[in-house]
Every structure is written in C-alpha cells, then in structure tokens.
Structure 1
C-alpha cells in the first residue's frame, strides 16, 4: 500500500539532501528538481527564503512516499508518481529522489517551506496532510497500485471497510481453517496477507484499499482472535456452539463464539481454573483438549476447587468429573 509521511525540518537541509541523493541509494536519472535544479536546490531554496525574509521557523519539509512491495512497480514509474505528488504543491520548489536500496520502493521529496511565487509558507495542518494523502491515493489508483485509507476513525467507518468486515465474517463462518478462509476471501476478489513474521493481517479490497486487522475496529477480527477460532476448527466450532445451545436461547453468532473463546483463553492465561471449567461446561472433551493444547497447558495438573453442584453439571455435559 502507498503511504505518505511528513517530517518538518528547521535546519540541516544540506545533510538531508546528501542523504536522499546518496549514490548508494539511487541514481542520477531518479533525482529530479521541481521548479529548481536538483544539484543547486539548497542554494536556490535559500535565495527564495531570503527574498521574502522568511529564514526562520520551519525551513523545509521531508516527505516520504512509500509503496507496497507487492505492487508491480518499476523505479521509473515510482519516480514519476513522486514528481506528480511534488506537483501538488504549486509554487514550491522540491527535489524528488527515488531510492532503490530497500524491498519497498519509496520516494523522498525535499520541499522548500516558502512559496517562490507569493512568499507564503506551507503549513502542515491535519486537514492539509489528509488532502495530500488523498491526492497520493488518487495517483496510485491511476497507476493500478494499492492504497491506504487517509485516516482510521472508529466513529466514521467508510462503506468499503464495512463491506470488508462483513465479508471477513461471512468467510469465517464458512471456513474450517486459515487456508479455507484465505481461499474464500480470494474468490471474492480480496487479497489476504497473513504471515507468521507479521504482527497484523493485511487485507486489500478489490478496489485497492489496504487495511490491517487492527484498523477494522472489531475485536472479533483481530489476528489473535481469529487464530484462536481456527485453532478450534473454525466452522466446526461455531456449529458445535449452535448445537450445544440451551433450549430457548438465541442462536450463537460468530461474535459470540469468538468472544467466548477469548474469555476462555484469558482464564487459561491467568490460571483461573474455576472460570475456565465453568466457561467450558458445554464443550466436548475433545474441544477442551484443543483449548489446553492451544494454551500450552496439556501436561499441567491443576487443582480444582469446585462444589458438588458444579461438578455434577460439568460431568453431565462432558461425561467425566472435574475432580481428578
């Protein structure tokens, strides 16, 4: 996914310029001046500031525009997109350098803070930053690249994200394991990046929006919750919760099953044996063994402080006593 980050700089532009134009990171054809000559940009920036007597305060902005390693993008196209982004700041001088030394392609844009046409300074308000990110997203969409939402707000969920959340839950309800889930999502046009080395699950919608599980604002869809659900068999576990419900109780939902599991694994984690056994009353012995295996407590012997009524209810549903 493409992302844009701003860094305000008060001094040291020469050092920054040397860094972004370092020949170990880029080549001459990927270094371009906008409204200035790249090789003399530092001096030209200073001339404009002195001309309008604005040599104090924030002097330069360092903008980093990064692209997803999964996007099919060559360095020349990445550089072109960087130049188009620099062009958004009309009347401002900039140097665009595209780096080639990392897995993800990215542009560095060094922007003079003073407009050479009218002498006004660029102000980095939250609203203006959001507008720049929106513009960068549009550029990426035009080039067929993935994009990132401008702002993650739990109280203003965009329609595409609501659809993504609903799609994930529908696929979870049909899937027995992670491989099933990814396959169902891909059949619907969604990409799923779920790797052991990454903390988050990242989804890319058919429209190109990229979103981490943590930005879906739904605890059921967090990676750790989904891993617990699929460790218990996914659809198999959800079906068992529906089958074990008491007469007259509403049919358990996916959210009910996942949140219930979260409570059970929390009890395991803090060694709350009483709560663990009470919350697993309606589970089979096989399901309990799966939970213990997931909680790495299969070989641990626990002391159970329970009364006869609890033990009788537990034995009724499981076929064996809580007293060992």
Structure 2
C-alpha cells in the first residue's frame, strides 16, 4: 500500500493541487507518508490491519478527449465520494502521459463502521456504467463495444485486452501465446467447414480438441499440453464471433458458397458445350473434316482441290494458314474440355461433401432426439416405480 501511494503522489506525475483525500484527513499537506499513516491508523482503530489493504482504480481518457486536468480532478473526486462513500480515498490526476488519467487508492476499511471493502465483477460492471453516465453528463466520449474512440469499427481479429498484462502479452509476444495459437487454428479450420463435426475434426488436426456439447454454454478448446481456452475469451481478445451461434452461421455461409460455386460450374459447362459447337462449325466451314484417328483425339485432314494442285504456290500458303488456325482452335477446345472436366470433378466432390455433411447433421439430430426421448422414458419409468413402491409400503406406523 505504501509503494502504491508513493507512486500515485510522485511529483513528476502530479502536483498537490491535483491531489485530494476523501474522508477523515487531519493534515494540511498531502504526501505519501501522511496518507499512508492515515490509512493505517484507521485500520488499527478497527483492528483490521491485515489482509487486503487497499483498492487501486484508474479512470483514463483517450488522448484525443477534450478534457483538462482540472475537469479530470473534479471527475475523480465526485466518483470517489459517491462510489466509495464511507471509505478514505486518495484521488490524484496524472498528466505525464499523452492521455490524462486519474488514480484512486481506497482504504479497504470503512471509517464509518469498520466494514471491509469487497468488489465483485458485478460491481466493476456497475462502476463502468456509473463512469459512462458521468461522461455523458459532461459531454465526454463514452466507449462503445466494437468501436474505436473515433467511432470506427474494430477490425476482425484485432487484439483487444482489458488487462494490462494480457494486452502486453499479445502486443509483444503474440506468436508465443497458446491463446493466439488457438485463434489461428480456429480461423484456419473455419475455411471450408460446413458442419460442427468437420470443424472438430479439423481442429484435432491442428492439435486442439473441442468440447462442444448442448449442456454447456461455452465451447472449450484444449491443446496437447492441457491448456484450455474458452470461446468467450477468443471473442473478447480477438474480436471474433466464435460462439456456438457464430460458428453455425459460418458453417451455413460456407455451405451456401459451395452450392453457389457448383451452380456456376454447371452453367459454365453449358456455355462450353456451345463453344464446342462453334469450333466444329468453324472447322467445317473452312473445308475440313473432323475425324477420329485413335478413338481418343480428333484430327483435321485437309482435302486438296483441283485448284490447289494447280496453284500450289498460292493456295498452299492459304491452306497452311487455315490448318494452323484450325489446329489452334482444336487445341484451345481440348484445353477447355480438360479444364471443364477438372472443375466438374471438383464440383462433384464438393457436392458429395455437402451431402455427407447433411446426412451427418440429420443423423446427429436424430440421435440427440432419440437420446432425449430415452431419458424422458427412463424418468417416467422411475417415477412410476416410485409411486408403486409408495403404495406397497403403506402408511408409516
């Protein structure tokens, strides 16, 4: 506690005009030694000078916020007097950084009745709501979830951490963090997954087991070293929607995308068939026959007319030009046919994947329904058995 008070009242960070103590304080000047002794005397008065000694909170504003140190000082005093009513609180404004912030160091023992200060997660949430209300009353900016100070949206995957230690970890050593590894594995696994089962299988390939059950609210990921990460942790830290509902939406989106690609491939095959007909018509129009040489590849044979035999010097060049043009068209046609066949096979594979996933999903849903019905039947049988036993036992003597 002494070190904390000494840091908050450092002269290179604040000045006496921006320091204040709520509650009993009998000294004219404020320095860390006097504040520390005042807090300690209050604890000894109630015989509670052990355990948690103090609470340290910081109210910070963005560097672009239009607020002066005097305004921040009044803000901190009002907050301390209303929120920590009955507890001595040191309020000090720091202006050594590019953003103004206010430190509040609160004695953990009340000077009114000697009760200890207890702060829960719900209290922290109410503290945030209270500071937001005070900011609105003063025309200051209120932080919005999913947005930066200027109102722009936080990009997907951007690191967000409310704890200082956690923030520094991801900013400096994100590659060495198993939480970051888990987030990367989830993003990779989501690529073409269209079902929960396929997602779990891919995560297993990346070294992460997935605990996704209907009974639990959250999804838990666990690596081979036994370290666990919740989906809610990934959502808050990396601004990713990795909840159950979010993943299901991703699966549905991937399914629709694969189906749309398959439909486009079928349309391309129809266009390609029309292109083949145009090529054959062009070859026929140039005086060539399309025949079969080895039952696998079509070749063009030219028919030499009487005029071509007489005027070989002229018509021979034209024939060679036409032959080259026709051969190029046929080669292009063969390449297009080969590419179309590859796309057709890939599309068929994707369609099989979609159908298999649908079958698995339906089967899984049916199994869950049967298991639920089985549990209901067992409960009914147990209830009926208890009633029968009660009737047989008769009244107690």
- Higher-Rg structure is 2
TM-score band (shorter)? Answer: 0.3 to 0.5
Higher RCO (C-alpha under 8 Å, 6+ residues apart): 1
